[in-house]
Amino acid sequence: MRTTVGIIGGGPAGLLLARLLHRAGVDCVVLESRDRAYVERRQRAGILEQGTVDVLRECGAAERLDREGLPHQGIELRFEGRSHRVDFPTATGGKSVTVYAQTEIVKDLVRLQLADPGGPPLLFEAEALAIEKADSGAPVIRFRHEGREQTLSCGFVAGCDGFHGIARRAVPAGLVRTFERTYPYSWLGVLADVPPSCEELIYARHQRGFALHSMRSPQVSRLYLQVPNGTDPADWSDERIWDELSTRFALDTGGWRLERGPITAKSVTPMRSFVQEPMRHGRLFLAGDAAHIVPPTGAKGLNLAVGDVVTLARALAHHHTTGSTELLDGYSAACLARVWQAERFSYAMTDTLHRRPEQSPFEDRLQIAQLDRIATSHTASAELAENYVGLPLS
């Protein structure tokens, strides 16, 4: 097999890149190691920045998003039994975010790609095994599909295979720098068949730990609790989860109740910050979680992946039409500038809202002072809002 761009990974980054390249007249092939049902069910992100929504619209992938996505104009912060709302449009000159699950974006992009007879091939259960000759003019992806090993000869390789994929490890160790931080806590996330108890997301800082009330639709709530690393979800009965969430979201004034319902999924996610630089090696380009990870507190992971592939698709299309490598040469630096802003914001949100196991009373007071500052200063509130709705895609 031969193609211009071999894309490893059929998550949001790989699928959107294929769509953008196809529309720009650049041929590509997507290799995805899992089957379609698995990829379409994997519960992950759900908050889309304005720029992400705009890109999905521009490439014709937002028909259902426009019907079913929930526009959100702000978030609520809860701390010390108090509540404060951050209004996005006021602070950002009219911007907002949209709640629409990553699973639904993946379903929409898969359906579009498979429905188009002239569209790029999307191979499920096609596991990339190795990338060869990445620094030559003709890289090759070795992959296993339908029980046999095959090769895909490419002009370029896009490594969109997430944090555990092979692409970032294909870059020789001496040519990369990695930056990493792990956190001494994880998130226990649940999906519940109950209408959300709030109209906007609630981020709660509590002496017992962080809690987040999010949602996937008007009927489905998504809730998270900070738990110690190594927590087994089986140790948390449904009743214990609801009790703990109610405690952490409680307001001194009362008057607000967390509605309970059947929990349909439970999982524990460790928190990590990670960046690999540069995001390019020869003709191999890394995009999305393959190059960087953020803790989910700032809702940036999916949006960063979208930013990367928009930049990459533009650079590949530019090369295709002009032969110039100028935009490809600038790819890594352009993405990393945005990535580090998201790393900074996600770290700050995480650090302000979570309690470390050994946290001192002094550090408690600092966190509360920071939240008070957001609640009382337009500048501090605008800083949060601008980062949350997303910096402009360059």
Binding footprint of ligand FAD on the chain (CB under 6 A): 8-14, 31-34, 39, 44-46, 102, 127-128, 160-162, 165-166, 269, 288-289, 296, 299-302, 305
Q: What does DSSP say about strands 202-205 and 74-79: parallel, antiparallel, or unpaired?
A: parallel
Q: Which residues are identified as catalytic? A: 72, 203, 296, 300, 388
Which residue, chain included where needed, has tokens 């379903």? 107
Nearer to ligand FAD, 91 or 170 (CB): 170
309: Cβ–Cβ under 8 A, 6 or more apart, which residues? 13, 14, 16, 17, 20, 158, 160, 287, 288
Interatomic CA distance for residues 198 and 256, integer angstroms? 9
Beta bridge partners of 157: 6, 284
Q: What's the min distance (Å) between Cβ of 337 and ligand FAD?
A: 18
Q: What's the min distance (Å) between Cβ of 305 and ligand FAD?
A: 4
Nearer to ligand FAD, 122 or 382 (CB): 122
Nearer to ligand FAD, 31 or 258 (CB): 31
Beta bridge partners of 224: 189, 212
Q: What's the min distance (Å) between Cβ of 162 and ligand FAD?
A: 3
CA distances, 328 to each of 8, 59, 91, 287, 323 (Å): 18, 21, 35, 13, 11
Nearer to ligand FAD, 22 or 300 (CB): 300
Q: What's the min distance (Å) between Cβ of 287 and ligand FAD?
A: 6
Nearer to ligand FAD, 127 or 244 (CB): 127
Would you state the structure tokens that stand for residue 225, as one six-digit string? Answer: 């609790």
Nearer to ligand FAD, 80 or 213 (CB): 213
Is residue 13 within 8 Å of residue 307, measured between CB atoms? no
Q: What does DSSP say about strands 280-281 and 211-215: parallel, antiparallel, or unpaired?
A: unpaired
The DSSP annotation for 7-29 comes to EE--SHHHHHHHHHHHHTT--EE
Q: What's the min distance (Å) between Cβ of 190 and ligand FAD?
A: 12
Which sign does the torsion angle of CA 321, 327, 329, 331 carry? negative
Q: What's the min distance (Å) between Cβ of 288 and ligand FAD?
A: 2
